[in-house]
Amino acid sequence: MRDVAERAGVSVTTVSHVINETRPVSDELRTRVLAAIEELGYQPNALARSLRRKKTHTIGMILPDSANPFFAEVARSIEAVSFEHGYSVILCNTDGDLEKELLYTDLLVEKRVDGILFVAAGMSAEHILALEEQHMPVVVIDRDIPDVAVDSVLTDNAQGGLLATRHLIELNHRRIGCITGPSDVTPSAERVSGYQQALQENGIPLDETLIVRGDFQYESGYRATRHLLALSDPPTAIFACNDLMAIGAVCAARELGLSVPEDLSIVGFDDIRLASFVNPSLTTIAQPKHEMGVLATQMLLERMQDRDRPPRRQMLSTSLVPRQSTATRRTEI
């Protein structure tokens, strides 16, 4: 920095003000300093600068499964908006392990990120509350954290479960299986409540043997479908609470010699891009993944500018996307 100051004929303090934008500098002096930086190839120390400015222009993003296209698609929108605003993103994958989520939360604080996006956070409030107390800007996406007043971007999961099941009932299905997500995940429970509401409003009795626990992974959809199809009175349709499990369900049906949708209709949830390209293409419930990522990042950037504004809760709608994996129930010939 001293060499730059000498080359530009200014004080080291002026060079610092130009680099850190901590005080207005005349255009003439700024131009001389920037020219000297260019000529000398000076690289200001980003960490030292960030410690002084208390901003690193980085955002932390914590998510439970980076291999799941739903999270990858949300993450891509977060990165795009962050980059547009001059922020880089540190992605932390937790595999749904709360311990790992806590470790990554501490790591991001140590790295002095300017804000943290929790995508589908674990169901613990303590670490989120602790960040709030440290005035670390936080936005929660996809999964509500009970009893924590924090900026949130959620989707109407119950509405999605209702739409999926109504669609199958309109196709004359009455024995409708439901493959749920992990038991401790609010979106899954909300989707199942929508499934139950659709049955109830159509006078279809709830048969608990048709509800099977999954974990949002392909394999659990496969296993749950094999279980359902082995029942003495198997379902003619299945609502899977995410697309990966729905794809696993199609594989299981095929393996048992059943055709989808002729013998078994299947609906998923998320509308990942892959849903259009599997065969048969997947009827599913679309989540506004791009909008979730954009809105959450914008809320975080606004929170960084104004830490005292009241928390906001945005609930986005879901929609049914009919494709090839559902059809009218085949009546006995």
For residue 104, state whether it binds ligand RIB (rule: CB under 6 A). no
CB of 91 to ligand RIB, least distance (A): 16
Nearer Cβ to ligand RIB (181/234): 181
**How buried is 188 (Cβ within 10 angstroms: 0-12 exposed, 13-18 middle, 19+ buried)?**
buried
Nearer Cβ to ligand RIB (36/241): 241
- Specify the residue for token string 């709360």: 98
For residue 242, state whether it binds ligand RIB (rule: CB under 6 A). yes
Which positions ≥6 away from 200 have C-beta within 8 Å? 206
Contact set for ligand RIB, span 59-78 (CB under 6 A) = 68, 70
- Specify the residue for token string 């000398």: 40
Look at residue 155 and give its three-state secondary structure: strand
Site string for ligand RIB, 171-210 (x = CB under 6 A): --------------x-x-----------------------
Look at residue 48 and give its three-state secondary structure: helix
For residue 284, state whether it binds ligand RIB (rule: CB under 6 A). no
User: For residues 68 and 267, what is the distance between their CA atoms, to the nearest angstrom?
Assistant: 18
Nearer Cβ to ligand RIB (118/216): 216
Contact 137, 303 (CB under 8 A): yes
For residue 297, state whether it binds ligand RIB (rule: CB under 6 A). no
For residue 269, state whether it binds ligand RIB (rule: CB under 6 A). yes
Q: With CB under 6 A, what is the number of residues at the site for ligand RIB?
A: 12
Contact 196, 157 (CB under 8 A): no
Contact 61, 78 (CB under 8 A): yes
Site string for ligand RIB, 117-156 (x = CB under 6 A): ---x---------------------xx-------------
User: For residues 67 and 275, what is the distance between their CA atoms, to the nearest angstrom?
Assistant: 15
Residues of the shown chain interacting with ligand RIB in the complex, contacts defined by CB under 6 A = 68, 70, 120, 142-143, 185, 187, 216, 242, 244, 269-270
